[in-house]
Structures are given as C-alpha cells and as structure tokens.
A = this chain, B = another copy of it.
C-alpha cells in the first residue's frame, strides 16, 4: 500500500501544488504530460519532479510521460482528499465567508456542517445554504453532530478563549486563520496556520531586499 510508504516532509509540502497543476490539466482534458512539460508549467526542474514522483511509486513511462488523471488521483489519495471530515467554521466575517467558499468550491476532504459567530446580527444568515448559528449553540451542536475539524476565522483573543473548549468538544484538528498560535495550546493535534499578518510582513521584507539589491546593482 502506498500509504505505508514514508514520504519526506519536503515532498509532502509540494504535493498540494502538484495536485493543483495536475487537476487543472485534467480539467482541460490533458491525459498525459512529460516531466519536462510539467516542469515548464510549474517552474520546477524536470529532475525534481521525477524524483518527487518516484517517492510514491511514480507513474511515468520513459518517452511517454505521466498519466495525468492517475497521478492526480494518487496524489489526492496521499493527501487524504477523499475524506469527508465533519467541519465547523468559527467566525462568519469576511474571512470566514471567503474560507467557507473555498471549502465548498474545492469540496475536498471536508464537509462544512456548521457556522458560528458571536454577532447576533449574523445569526440565521445563510452562507452557501448553511445558517450562521450563535456561538452559544456550539456545545449542543457538537454533541449532536460530532464535528472533528474546526476552521478558526476569529480575532486572536477569541481564539485563545475558544481553543480549549473546542478540544473538549471533540475537535481533533484546527485550520487556523487567526494570528494566535493555536498549536502552542493544542500541541497534540494537527494544526495548519494561515497567518495573513505574517505573510504581509514577509512580502514587506522581500520588497525591501529587492529594492536594496536593485540599488547595489546600480
């Protein structure tokens, strides 16, 4: 079984990007692609791609290329995208709505079953057909529906308060969009952070570095 193989972290980190490119090819009706063509599209070297794909058995045939659909499906399987993790979204502001749209449009791995916010004015509003519930109903909802994944689109203070509760309510994985470092207080469960503020500082640094290099070059 492929799942039993050990795939290195550096390869795993590239898998979502491979999946994204291969899925686009698949959707465009492209059945086969060589590592050379794929490398030109992705900005990686062909040898890097061949090495990566070899890690999980590869599917290339010399001079014939990769079977796009098979490779895409295989990477999807490694990523676990066929799962239907019952998921709740905390925070129905702009960010929460944007993320909910993503979860729906991608429909991979997660099934959004509940949306919560503490703003009463949002209660009852529909996001992709799911009503926003008041956060006070979280306990009962979790007991009745047993979600296992939480998406957090809340300010850091609210996130800090809520995290221990979520764990008690049976949440075993967190997709965290708050600037609060959830994993510090939930070290034992899978956490994936999207720290938009950190990304903002990173592009700021890249610009500074780019401008300084430009000046050096004059």
Task: Give the distance to chain B from A112, nearest Cβ to Cβ, in Å.
Answer: 12
| Chain A interface category by residue count | 35 or more
Within 8 A of B (CB), among A74-126: 78-81, 83, 85, 93-95, 97-99, 101-103, 106, 108-110
Question: Given A16-B202, A102-B197, A196-B102 in contact, is the A208-B80 Cβ separation under 8 Å?
Answer: yes
Copies per complex of this chain: 2
In the complex, which of the residues B94, B191, B205 contacts A94, with contact meaning CB atoms closer than 8 Å?
B94
10 residue pairs of the A-B complex, CB under 8 angstroms, read: A3-B212, A15-B201, A20-B197, A42-B181, A80-B207, A81-B204, A83-B207, A94-B97, A106-B197, A191-B203
Q: Which 5 A-B pairs have the closest CB atoms?
A: A80-B208, A192-B203, A109-B204, A190-B206, A95-B98
